Amino acid sequence: MAQAQLFTPLRIRNLELANRIVIAPMCQYSATDGCMNDWHLTHLGGLAQSGAGLLTIEATAVSPEGRITPADLGLYDDATEAAMGRVLEGVRKWSDMPIALQLAHAGRKASCEAPWRGGRQIAPDAAGGWQTVAPSALAFDPETVAPTALDSEGLQRIRDGFAQAARRAARLGIDAVQIHVAHGYLLHTFLSPLSNHRTDAYGGSFENRARFPLEILDIVREAFADKAVSVRISATDWVPGGLTIDETAAFSALAEARGADAINVSTGGLHPGQKIPLSPGYQVPFARAVKAATNIPVVAVGLITEAEHAEAIVATGDADMIGLARGILYDPRWPWHAAAHLGAQIKPAPQYLRCQPARYKSLFVN
């Protein structure tokens, strides 16, 4: 049997990935004042035993007002850095899986309740709420308070937040950082013409709309020195007049030229009127288009649940890696099961070696 491409190694700058399976960032809405706690130790510790090639920590705000909810993770002061350090120490004691961190600012989608509490926006004058910011004073929907349009001082605060968070991530020994330019959060709202109505150097033409996200990439690239930096993008807004795949491909090429080491291709999240034709691998064509426009690794995501499907995406060259989110929450041993199905091998923690099923006698390597 030919070697499964999903389980071949890949090098990305400083990263040596054992396979092409990436655990995507998944918000837990369980932090205290931005600080990790025992939930994150349990959650990340379990995923670090999954056999994936890379574990990505959930969206981590670069400032308190950049959090989606009051219970989001942050990396913006000494307390949040120390808390993350304690959790990382516990995870790394038992796993050598590389760990990435997604740096984010929620923009106009900030100040919300956790999803299981309804996810509604918390008004600025309500307990736990705050005033949101965005490129333009356009509300996400009629039921939310319009954000404040960022002025030059506000833009500088955002730049400083990303730079400081990247430096903190470097101090913590994070292996890679991902810049969140997707799902309707701040940097995505600069890029999309639906949410960016500015008339200065940061609005209007595609080049102007791309300017601020690329400035953030420059800042993070410098602050994170010689380690891997990736960018997560929403390739389309799924709304007429929104971001196009041609613009996304052009942005990805610009990001590569500015030092991005990989592009993670998602879609949507910017507009409540989006109409998404959900089906297995529905976002893969966008990953394919970005891969055609760049020379750096591309991650495909979105309803990829079966081992054969994931293998086909990598083997045909549509993408270089597969990102798993809800699927790996449901099945934290998905990489084990995929390896067994595809005739590949996986290296588990030695404590788990004796659980190898008899019908997969060569699945585990010690």
**In this structure, is residue 360 part of a structural domain?**
no
Alpha-carbon Rg for the chain, nearest whole angstrom, is 20
CA 285/CA 104 separation, integer angstroms = 25
**In this structure, is residue 283 part of a structural domain?**
yes
Whole-number percent of the chain with pLDDT over 90: 98
The whole-number pLDDT of residue 34 equals 98
C-alpha angle 26-109-40 in degrees, rounded to nearest 5: 25
| Cβ-contact 181, 166 below 8 angstroms | no
Task: Catalogue the active-site residues.
Answer: 185
pLDDT digits (tens, 9 = 90+) for 17-30: 999 999 999 999 99
pLDDT digits (tens, 9 = 90+) for 184-210: 999 999 999 999 999 999 999 999 999
CA 190/CA 185 separation, integer angstroms = 9
**In this structure, is residue 326 part of a structural domain?**
yes
The whole-number pLDDT of residue 366 equals 86
Count how many domains the chain has: 1
According to DSSP, residue 95 is labeled -
Provide the domain limits for residue 111.
5-355
Instruction: Tell me the angle at which helices 78-92 and 38-47 cross, rounded to the nearest 10 degrees.
Output: 40
**In this structure, is residue 365 part of a structural domain?**
no
Mapped onto helix, strand or coil, the DSSP state of residue 321 is: strand
| Cβ-contact 135, 150 below 8 angstroms | yes
**In this structure, is residue 118 part of a structural domain?**
yes
Q: What are the start-end ranges of the E strands in 273-349?
A: 298-300, 321-324
Tell me whether strands 262-266 and 133-134 are parallel, antiparallel or unpaired. Answer: unpaired
For residue 235, pLDDT over 70 is answered with: yes
Read off the CATH number of the domain in which 234 is found: 3.20.20.70
**In this structure, is residue 35 part of a structural domain?**
yes
CA 325/CA 303 separation, integer angstroms = 9
**In this structure, is residue 281 part of a structural domain?**
yes
pLDDT digits (tens, 9 = 90+) for 156-170: 999 999 999 999 999
**In this structure, is residue 366 part of a structural domain?**
no
| Cβ-contact 62, 18 below 8 angstroms | no
CA 362/CA 262 separation, integer angstroms = 32
Nearest to 80 by CA among 190, 165, 176: 165
Q: Which two tokens stand for residue 277?
A: 């034709």
Who has greater pLDDT, 366 or 70?
Answer: 70
